[in-house]
Amino acid sequence: MRIRFLSYLLLVLLVAGAHQGVEAQQRTPPLPETLHEADALVPSPGILSNSVETLRARGDSLWVGPYLNLTTDAGATWQATDADALRGLQNLVFSLRGDGPVLVAGLGNRVGARFGRGRVNVSRGFLISGDDGRSWTFRSPRPPLDDDPTTTGILDLPEDTVTVYGASSLPTLPITEPTSTPPRGVAYDAATGTLWSANVRAGLRRSADQGRSWERVVLPPDTLQAIAPEMALAFPFFAEPIGPASDNFAGRNFRAYDVLVDATGRIWAGTEGGVNWSDDGVAWQRRGFDGTPDGLNGSWVYRLAEQPTPDGPVLWLATRPSVEPEEIAGVAFTTDGGQTFEQTLAGEQIFDFAFREGVVFAAGQSGLFTSRDGGRSWTLTRRFLTPDDPNRSVRTDTEVFAVATVGDALWIGTDDGLFRSRDAGRTWQLFRPDVPLASDEASPVVPGDLVPTVDTFAYPNPYAPARDTEVRIRFDLERPQSVTIRIFDFGMNLVRTLHGQLNPGRRELSWDGTDQNGAVVANGAYFYTVDTGSELARGKILVLE
């Protein structure tokens, strides 16, 4: 038996990241101010994370976040993006879009918050490619070092306290810290060469110089349905209240989560205050939740997607509740440019959309939804059967974060791996990070000291039974044989025994965090042995709820 280990640090990175929503802030390490070019794509043994939150299909190519892995042959081979900003798995891709040969990736990270209150999302800049991802340029989120008061980065200088909009000068809260400012949505307008980025607390911004500098984009406050530069306006351009939140705070529409440029050139922005659209990027209309049947399910528009159809484009919105008690999560779509909406998937939290020949796919917390009648009815897939690899378990409560179609293949990104189906979702092939057999076999973007050669590994590790459901113990077998795994507590008392009759290759058995009596074990360190009868390997699992 040959069994290998992936280091603790890499295992932590492979676990699904903590969700946004923590209020505490923490100053992050300095961000690079210079530009870096990636040499090229480099070979990779597979994807580099089990938690796949971003997918982007382009022709026969599939880009996979959070580390920009690429396959052009339906997963038979993989490449990794050798960019300084991603090397060593130091940042995550939060968003990815493009037009023609241009691709834009919004980078962020998740860091520990003050006082141990979970993790927060921070902005880390952008990777921009003009040759379909064969090389990339890094752009810092920090403001440019010049004296131009009208352009910033995604972050501002402390003196950036006024935004000029037409004839109006709006008092502005400068965003000087990267906390809660990741580029959740990006877009590129090939007709004008404009980059767009939706940056949550830092709002909607655009760049006319390929991301070297950015301009703050003024959207309507929550109290207005439209703004234009010729209007006399006087409202605070604040994306968050100063001091305790008040009932009359009207800046939720400045907190941007997604941006899209449709086939007609219209710009759409999804915010906590609704959906906004503009034909010139200056004058904007807004629609939030208004309780009408032809409106939105909820004002918080988390995701935007455009579906081409023979009758014209359809815009899809994933919505969530924002302020009003009547708001709910769900999906809304419009066929008339935002004048009216139809609501569907009431109560479902949706993360992403994909389309193929009139079929709509929606990736959500409950699983994968499929509609063949334009969103009027849906089927739900919650179990992703992998008959070709029965020894690899799949969680039954898997959330689907992303969905894409490439040719006859349907792809979904989940918190438990990447899946591909070629039979309309009946069966699936599973892709997870393949642990290299030695450090010199790792992808060049992963430092060798992160993948030392040892005897066994378990993932996720640390392991939280309520959140992760199960921990997988991974090993290689050279021939078909019976395997027994024994799990012990810190006092070396036997807690649980697992058995399996397995074929050769890289295999795994799962533990659900319970003892022989079915009780969930307490927090602490647990030790395990993998016994084939002729060889014995040992490892450790940290249970931390």
Residues 423-433: pLDDT tens digits?
A: 988 889 989 87
State residue 257's pLDDT score.
98
**Segment 365-387 mean pLDDT:** 92
Of the candidates 166, 62, 165, 121, the one whose C-alpha atom is nearest the C-alpha of residue 411 is 62
Residues 264-318: pLDDT tens digits?
A: 999 999 999 999 999 999 999 999 999 999 999 999 999 999 999 988 899 999 9
**Segment 258-265 mean pLDDT:** 96
pLDDT band at 5 (very low <50, low <70, confident <90, very high): very low
State residue 507's pLDDT score.
82
**Segment 36-40 mean pLDDT:** 57
CA dist., res. 203 & res. 160, Å (int): 14
What amino acid is encoded at 456 in this protein? T
pLDDT band at 11 (very low <50, low <70, confident <90, very high): very low
Report whether pLDDT(9) > 60: no
Residues 323-356: pLDDT tens digits?
A: 899 999 999 999 999 999 999 999 999 999 999 9
State residue 385's pLDDT score.
77
State residue 39's pLDDT score.
56
Judge contact between 373 and 342, C-beta under 8 A.
no
**Segment 110-114 mean pLDDT:** 69
CA dist., res. 281 & res. 185, Å (int): 16
State residue 28's pLDDT score.
39
CA dist., res. 520 & res. 146, Å (int): 58
pLDDT band at 392 (very low <50, low <70, confident <90, very high): low
Strand partners, 330: 319
Judge contact between 51 and 12, C-beta under 8 A.
no
**Segment 86-101 mean pLDDT:** 90
CA dist., res. 366 & res. 398, Å (int): 8
Tell me the percentage of the chain whose pLDDT exceeds 70: 85
pLDDT band at 12 (very low <50, low <70, confident <90, very high): very low
* Cα 196-191-300 angle, rounded to 5 deg: 30
Q: In sequence order, which residues have a C-beta less than 8 Å from that of residue 324 and are 6 or more positions away?
A: 289, 291, 299
The more confident residue out of 390 and 466 is 466
Report whether pLDDT(442) > 60: yes
CA dist., res. 113 & res. 205, Å (int): 26
Strand 274-278 to 284-287 pairing: antiparallel
State residue 352's pLDDT score.
98
Mean pLDDT (the chain, rounded): 86
Residues 499-508: pLDDT tens digits?
A: 988 888 778 8
pLDDT band at 372 (very low <50, low <70, confident <90, very high): very high
**Segment 378-391 mean pLDDT:** 81
Report whether pLDDT(447) > 80: no
**Segment 447-466 mean pLDDT:** 72
Residues 521-542: pLDDT tens digits?
A: 999 999 999 998 888 888 899 8
CA dist., res. 271 & res. 257, Å (int): 5
pLDDT band at 57 (very low <50, low <70, confident <90, very high): very high
State residue 122's pLDDT score.
94
pLDDT band at 440 (very low <50, low <70, confident <90, very high): low
Report whether pLDDT(435) > 60: no
Residues 126-148: pLDDT tens digits?
A: 999 999 998 899 999 999 877 77
Tell me the percentage of the chain whose pLDDT exceeds 90: 61
CA dist., res. 354 & res. 270, Å (int): 18
CATH of 455-543, one of 3.10.129.10, 2.60.40.4070, 3.40.1160.10, 2.60.40.10: 2.60.40.4070
Q: What is the pTM of this model?
A: 0.83
**Segment 364-393 mean pLDDT:** 87
CA dist., res. 93 & res. 255, Å (int): 20
CA dist., res. 267 & res. 390, Å (int): 46
Q: How do the domains of the chain map onto residue ranges?
A: 455-543
